[in-house]
Amino acid sequence: MITTRNLTKRFSNGVVALQDFSLHIDKGEFVFLVGPSGAGKSSFINLVIRKELPTSGLLKVGNMDVALLKKNEIPYFRRNIGVIFQDFKLLPNKTVYENISFALEVIEADTREIKIRVNYVLDLVGLTHKRNEFPSELSGGEQQRVSLARAIVNRPHLLLADEPTGNLDPETSWGIMELLKEINKRGTTVVMATHNKDIVDRLRRRVVAIENGRIIRDELKGGYSLED
Amino acid sequence: MKIRTVRYFSREAVRGIFRNKLMSLAAVGTITMALLIFGGLYLVTSNLQYWGQRARNQLEVRAFLTKNAPDRQVMEERLSSIPGVKSVKFISKEEGARILGEMFGQTDLFSHGENPLPDSFNIYPVRGADVEAIAVKIERISGVEEVVYGRNFVRFLNLFVRLIWIVGLILISLTVFAVLYIVINTIQLTVYARRNEIEIMKLVGATDSFVRWPFLLEGIYLGITGALVSILLLFQGYTILYGKAKSFARILPVLSSFEVTMDLIVFLLIMGIFFGALGSILSVRRYLKV
Strands A206-211 and A30-34: parallel
Minimal C-alpha gap between B189 and chain A (Å) = 17
The pLDDT tens digits for B233-246 are 988 888 888 777 77
Do B28 and B166 have their domain in common? yes
Confidence at residue A227, expressed as pLDDT on a 0 to 100 scale: 61
Q: Are residues B51 and B174 in the same domain?
A: yes
What pLDDT, on a 0 to 100 scale, did the predictor assign at position B45?
A: 80
Of B21, B24, B197, B203, which to mutate for an interface test with A (greatest number of A Cβ within 10 Å)? B203
- Same structural domain for residues B225 and B280? yes
Instruction: Write the CATH number for B110.
Output: 3.30.70.3040
In A, minimum Cα distance to B214 occurs at A106
Q: Chain A partners of B218 at a C-beta cutoff of 8 Å?
A: none
B236 and B210 in one domain? yes
Asked if B272 and B231 sit in the same domain, the reply is yes
For residue B249, is pLDDT > 60?
no
Asked if residues A221 and A204 have their Cβ atoms less than 8 Å apart, the reply is: yes
pLDDT at position A57 over 80:
yes
Q: Do B204 and A108 touch (CB under 8 A)?
A: no
Instruction: Decide if pLDDT at B289 tops 80.
Output: no
Q: Which of A108, A111, A152, A160 to mutate to test the interface with B (most CBs of B within 10 A)?
A: A108
Q: CB–CB of A102 and B201 under 8 A?
A: yes
Chain A's closest residue to B195, CA to CA, is A91
Tell which B residues from 202 to 241 touch A, by Cβ distance under 8 Å.
202-208, 210-211
What residues have CB less than 8 Å from B21, skipping those under 6 apart?
none
Closest Cα in chain B, distance from residue A153 (Å) = 10
**Higher pLDDT among residues A29 and B175, named by residue:** A29
Domain shared by B37 and B96, yes or no: no
- The pLDDT value recorded for residue A116 is 95
Contacts of B207 in chain A (CB under 8 A): 72, 75
- Among chain B residues, the shortest Cα distance to A52 is held by B290
Query: A103 touching B, CB under 8 A?
Result: yes
Q: Which of B105, B128, B149 is the last residue of a domain?
A: B149
ipTM of the complex: 0.84
Nearest chain B residue to A160, by CA: B203
For residues B161 and B244, state if they share a domain: yes
Is B19 touching A (CB cutoff 8 A)? yes
Are residues B229 and B104 both part of a single domain? no
In this prediction, residue A61 carries a pLDDT of: 93
Domain boundary at B133, B149, B165, which?
Answer: B149
Contact between B203 and A51 using a beta-carbon 8 Å cutoff: yes
Residue A185's pLDDT is 93
Say how many CB pairs under 8 Å bridge A and B: 50
Q: What is the pLDDT of residues B216-227, one digit of tens each?
A: 998 899 999 999
More reliable by pLDDT, B19 or A109: A109
In this structure, the dihedral spanned by the alpha carbons of residues B240, B244, B248 and B251, taken in order and rounded to 10 degrees, is: -30
pLDDT of residue B1: 67
At A27 the pLDDT is 93
Please indicate whether, in this complex, the C-beta atoms of A75 and B202 are within 8 angstroms of each other: yes
* Mean pLDDT for the stretch of residues A31-44: 90
**Angle, vertex CA A147, rays to CA A125 and CA A133, nearest 5:** 75
pLDDT in tens, A16-32: 889 999 999 999 999 99
Pairing of strands A189-194, A158-162: parallel
Q: Is 80 exceeded by the pLDDT of residue B58?
A: no
| Count of domains forming chain B | 2
Length of chain A: 228
The amino acid present at B29, given as its one-letter code, is G
Residues B210, B259: one domain?
yes
In this prediction, residues B90-111 reach a mean pLDDT of 76
Check whether A228 has a pLDDT greater than 60.
no
Mean pLDDT of all residues in B152-168: 80
Residues B215 and B253 in one domain: yes
Three-state DSSP state, B147: strand
Cα B159 to Cα B161: distance, rounded to the nearest angstrom: 6
Sheet strand arrangement including A2-10: A16-25, A2-10, A56-61, A64-65
Binary contact (B204, A76; C-beta < 8 A)? no
Tell me: do B111 and B39 sit in the same domain: no
Arithmetic mean of pLDDT over chain A: 91
- Residue A160 predicted with pLDDT over 90: yes
Q: pLDDT tier at B254 (50, 70, 90 boundaries)? A: low
Q: Considering B149, B165, B200, which residue would you say is the last residue of a domain?
A: B149
Once rounded to an integer, what is the mean pLDDT over residues B85-93?
85
**B contact test, residue of A105, A107, A160 with most B CBs within 10 A:** A105
The parent domain of residue B278 ranges over 3-55+156-287
Q: Tell me, yes or no, whether B131 and B219 share the same domain.
A: no
CB contact under 8 A, A75 and B200: no
A49 interaction partners in chain B (CB closer than 8 Å): 203
